[in-house]
Copies of this chain bind each other. A is one copy, B any other.
Amino acid sequence: MEQVLVENEVQQVKLLDSVNDDHGGVIVELSEAMDLKVFALMLKASIALWRSQGKRGVWIKIPIELINLAEAAVKEGFWFHHAEPKYLMLAFWIPEGAHTLPANASHCVSIVAFVMNNKREVLVVQEKCGKFRGTGIWKFPTGGVDEGEDICAGAIREVKEETAIDTEFVEVLAFWQSHKSFFEKSNLHFVCMLRPLSFDIQKQESEIEDAQWMPWDDYVAQPFVQKYELVDIYRAKEDETYFGFPPVPMASKHPGQKSYLYFNDRDLKSSKV
């Protein structure tokens, strides 16, 4: 490790190990326990060096077991950028002026799954938790899309988890945003149509009270459905007069990582004819 002079004291202070990021900044990943005062000195010395090198953003990733060290970074002016269960990421901006670091994630993504078999029955569930618990309401399977997961993959996975039904993804029929769904965050809800590939339901014990194939007319007759804006879309889809956004594989920039462009490919095909 290098040695530097800190604030005119002639003193040898170790520097923090860091790697450069792609935006003129540095990333520090703490992994070893150390004395809080020692860490504070190392951090001060490291910032002085990074400043002299013209570095911009500084990231410090603190694993949960070293959370006691966060205090020293906060005293130097770091703020919290984001956290996951096992770590806290702090950020700091060396140059004058407003920082240009990326924002923290702002949205959760969830899906609603419209799955109809060829007997005009839809796949519906009653949940053990949530606002519909104990109401007797039969609703379409819903669930959260994981980070790093595509919407089409998340919809297939959620239907499989809740009901054991295999499906193929057809298209996104519609979407909406809800805000402050938990604390300050927003939620993007994608209404998806899937085609069933299997028919024997096995409900998930932990989350699902009951699941069934329900005749479409019985589903629609439920009072909450009468007021439900999406039913017109489901009806039009059933009549084959509605076209949403199916996922079309994109020529991906990252080999091995599949990406999809969701758009109205029927319109595009007909415009090319």
Binding site for B on A (CB under 8 A): 64-65, 67-68, 70-71, 74, 79-89, 98, 100, 102-109, 129, 144-151, 173-186, 188, 206, 227, 229-230, 232-233, 235-236, 239, 241-245, 250-251, 257, 259-264, 267-268, 270-272
Contacts and interface: CB of A to CB of B under 8 A. Distances in A.
A270 to B, nearest CB: 7
Contacts of A81: 83, 85
Contacts of A64: 74, 79-80
A83 B88 contact: yes
A106, A145, A268: residue with the most chain B Cβ atoms closer than 10 Å: A106
A81 B174 CA distance: 30
14 contacts: A68-B68, A80-B85, A80-B87, A81-B83, A82-B82, A83-B89, A98-B206, A105-B186, A107-B188, A147-B185, A175-B245, A242-B267, A245-B245, A264-B264
A236 B74 contact: no
A184 B83 CA distance: 11
A67 B70 contact: yes
A259 B80 contact: no
A148 B184 contact: yes
B84 A184 contact: yes
Chain A interface mostly: mixed
Contact of A88 (B80, B85, B146, B250): B80
Contacts of A267: 236, 241-243
A260 B177 contact: yes
B183 A262 contact: no
A243 to B, nearest CB: 6
A173 B1 CA distance: 53
Given A105-B185, A107-B147, A232-B268, A262 B84 contact: no
A7 B98 CA distance: 50
Contacts of A149: 186
- 7 closest Cβ pairs, A-B complex: A106-B147, A174-B263, A83-B83, A241-B271, A80-B83, A236-B271, A105-B105
Contact of A177 (B88, B150, B236): B150
Contacts of A186: 105, 109, 147-149
A262 B177 CA distance: 9
A17 B113 CA distance: 41
A74 B67 CA distance: 8
Contacts of A264: 174, 242-244, 264
B102 A176 contact: no
A98 B207 CA distance: 11
